[in-house]
Structure 1
Amino acid sequence: MSGKYGRVGVLYGGRSAEREVSLMSGQGVHEALCSKGVDAHLFDTGLYTLVDLINAGFDRVFIALHGRHGEDGTLQGALELMGLPYTGSGTLASSLAMDKIMTKQVWLQHQLPTPRYAVLTADSDLEAVAAELGLPLIIKPPHEGSTLGVTKVNKLEELREAYQLAARYDEEVLAEQFIAGRELTVALLGKGKSTRALPIIEIVAPDGNYDYDHKYISNDTQYICPAQLDEALSASIRRLAEQAYVVVGCEGWGRADFMLDQAGQPWLLEINTSPGMTSHSLVPMGAKADGMSYAELCLEILSTACCKVQTPPAV
């Protein structure tokens, strides 16, 4: 098996606010690949440089980084220049998906359902935004994940503090209409017409608060997979997840997050191009419900590693 993939680097850690999650993801992926006979080696991009990466002599890399400088297209661009095959989406799709505002604009252009929103800056009239979108609101930094900097605002007087928290992470802040209902997520594998959605997962967090602790630390959150949904609705949500993934240009693997309102309408929240791979993570859960072990999932993702930019023939 090791000869098929050559020397594999598992890129993890990094310098983003999601470093701790990435360390857990990378360790899990590394152990899984080694268990399948792959010559895999951990490489912390937060400790070592691109020069070190070149000198490591990897034949391909598995990106287990989350957040900035790992999931946002910057690393992907460097890997393209190096000619080093990598897992997941390319530079443009990674950059688009990392920006929740731009992702919404792409989805709306393709008439896909996503909650109404506004972009906040230091000069924004917060009262006017609250009046336009209504309360409650979700306030979040558009370039972060793992619910970092996210606040549910129930009262107008809470809005300023929520904006200031999100603004610690991003110059612009996303204010989003709150959709009450059931929280769902769909893991995706493949590319273009070959994209397939794995079984839907419903997330039931204590008091509906699926925050960092309930994602990665606590065991209080319940995960129902496959989600208990009408068969037609389930098929519709999976198709919508595939559309959301494809129109952004994602490939390899990813995860689409939804809210399902009380009328049975699914609303797209975001798309992740390098989702968590920890013991609490959702993509391995969806894969398991589809009959695929964690190690098999890692191997399938690794098998799709490639450079996305084609080198033109020499003149």
Structure 2
Amino acid sequence: MTIEGRHVVILSGGISHERDVSLRSGRRVSDALIKAGARVTVREPDEKLLPWLEQHFEDVDVVWPVLHGVSGENGALYSLLRALEVPYVGSRPTAAMLAWNKATSKALVKRAGIATPQSIVLPNDTFRELGAASVIDAISKGVDFPAVVKPVEGGSSQGVSFVNEKAEFSRAMVTAFTYSDGVLIEKKVTGTELMVGVLDFGEGPFAVPPVEVVPHSGVYDYAARYNAGETTFFAPARVSEAVLAEVSELAVKACQVIGLADVARVDFIVDESGKPWFIEADPIPGMTETSLVPLGIQAAGLEVSDVYARLAEHAAARGPRNTPATPNLVV
């Protein structure tokens, strides 16, 4: 099967905080697939989508959700596509859910022997029940400074704050709770930020060259991710061959442990000793002009349109119910 002439439906937009990024990703994927010869329809994930998919079931070869944020990355949409027996690019619903929750994905990779920073996870209810002041006092004794406070569910570095002392926790918690009902407080690892794209065309997952990000502000936040000129990217990363190999191997292992399929991104920080620390995994990575997976694909000497075509071909041929099984791991 080839993608030429096949009908690919790209889902982008949505109502999450990451809507604009999703729209940009959708346009880039659409352009690449059109270049590869596919027929492409771009749709919003709205109340008309599921009836439309049922109505056009015979004409749709594969759906590619490029939805960032909770509306696409928590696995719910994948469940509905599977229920309708519509082939799609992406992981099983359970795997997406595991990756979407940073605490869960950290627990899974830690059990598999991959280092991840010390952390505490707290729901909003804990602060109401035990009192914010008491909880913050306990946190400050349990996590080393400097620390990172982030929504336990979310992407694009939205709601992330760096905390250098106890007095800064309150504002950081309020910011994180804007995006999620839970927060993850994590020891900050200082070092080189590497993002690794992992692809699978049906012959097993493999990593493209890790990309090093150097934000001009010193923080790889939302603006640094998506505003041109805010960050310098190095693909492949400026680290030793040994570190490149290790991070690539760990990225593939993390995807296998979590159960991610087709295309994903795994983020690490390599400390001054050369040790990689797992930060998070993204089940639907950005595909914008400043996103990391396309940069890694190009660094591998691959054509982006060919890679996207192969991902869509593989998903269409596989069908909706044959994505790799999520490992039966107990967190």
TM-score range, shorter chain: over 0.9
Alignment of 1:234-249 (within 5 A): 234-249=244-259
Query: Structure 1's 18 and 70: CA in aligned 2 closer, same or farther, altered over 3 A?
Result: same
Alignment of 1:55-94 (within 5 A): 55-57=55-57, 58-94=60-96
- Cα deviation for residue 303 of structure 1 reads 1.9
Identity %: 34
Q: Which digits, 9 at most, give the CA deviation of each residue in 1:213-255, with x for residues without a partner?
A: 1111141311011112211221111111111111000110111
Q: Which residue number corresponds to residue 48 of structure 2?
A: 48
Alignment of 1:108-119 (within 5 A): 108-119=110-121
Question: 1:32 aligned to 2:44?
Answer: no
- Cα deviation for residue 270 of structure 1 reads 0.5
Contact in 2 for aligned 1:191/1:251 (Cα 8 Å): no
Query: Structure 1's 181 and 68: CA in aligned 2 closer, same or farther, altered over 3 A?
Result: same
Q: Which residue number corresponds to residue 202 of structure 1?
A: 212
- Cα deviation for residue 191 of structure 1 reads 7.5
Task: After superposing the two structures, state which structure 1 stretch, 119-128 or 277-286, moved more.
Answer: 119-128
- Cα deviation for residue 308 of structure 1 reads 5.2
Q: Which residue number corresponds to residue 144 of structure 2?
A: 134
The structure 2 residue matched to 1:271, chosen from 267, 276, 281, is 281
Q: Which residue number corresponds to residue 236 of structure 2?
A: 226
Alignment-mate amino acid for residue 254 of structure 2: A
SS in 1 for 2:108: helix
Q: Which residue number corresponds to residue 313 of structure 1?
A: none
Query: Structure 1's 6 and 126: CA in aligned 2 closer, same or farther, altered over 3 A?
Result: same
TM-score by length of 1: 0.93
Alignment-mate amino acid for residue 37 of structure 1: G
Contact in 2 for aligned 1:137/1:154 (Cα 8 Å): yes
Query: Structure 1's 14 and 307: CA in aligned 2 closer, same or farther, altered over 3 A?
Result: farther
Task: After superposing the two structures, state which structure 1 stretch, 207-216 or 255-264, moved more.
Answer: 207-216
Q: Which digits, 9 at most, give the CA deviation of each residue in 1:43-95, with x for residues without a partner?
A: 11146332123224422111111111211100000000000000011111111
Q: Which residue number corresponds to residue 100 of structure 1?
A: 102
Cα distance in 1 for partners of 2:50, 2:165 equals 47
Task: After superposing the two structures, state which structure 1 stretch, 297-306 or 44-53, moved more.
Answer: 44-53
Contact in 1 for aligned 2:201/2:311 (Cα 8 Å): no
Alignment-mate amino acid for residue 15 of structure 2: R
Alignment-mate amino acid for residue 29 of structure 2: V
Contact in 2 for aligned 1:2/1:39 (Cα 8 Å): no
- Cα deviation for residue 17 of structure 1 reads 1.2
Q: Which digits, 9 at most, give the CA deviation of each residue in 1:262-293, with x for residues without a partner?
A: 11110000011110011111100000011112
Contact in 2 for aligned 1:204/1:222 (Cα 8 Å): yes
Alignment-mate amino acid for residue 321 of structure 2: V
Cα distance in 1 for partners of 2:26, 2:69 equals 14
Q: Which digits, 9 at most, give the CA deviation of each residue in 1:150-174, with x for residues without a partner?
A: 1111121110110011112211111
Runs of 4+ in 1 over 4 A off after TM superposition: 1-5
SS in 2 for 1:175: strand
Alignment-mate amino acid for residue 309 of structure 1: R
Cα distance in 2 for partners of 1:292, 1:267 equals 27
Q: Which residue number corresponds to residue 11 of structure 2?
A: 11
Structure 1, unpaired ranges of 5+: 311-315
Count of aligned pairs between the two proteins: 310
Structure 2, unpaired ranges of 5+: 128-134, 323-331
Cα distance in 1 for partners of 2:139, 2:10 equals 43
Question: 1:174 aligned to 2:184?
Answer: yes
Contact in 2 for aligned 1:192/1:246 (Cα 8 Å): no
SS in 1 for 2:174: helix
- Cα RMSD, aligned residues only: 1.8
Cα distance in 1 for partners of 2:225, 2:164 equals 22
Cα distance in 2 for partners of 1:213, 1:185 equals 17
- Cα deviation for residue 193 of structure 1 reads 7.5
Cα distance in 1 for partners of 2:103, 2:3 equals 42
Cα distance in 2 for partners of 1:206, 1:293 equals 28
Q: Which digits, 9 at most, give the CA deviation of each residue in 1:14-33, with x for residues without a partner?
A: 12111110000101111111
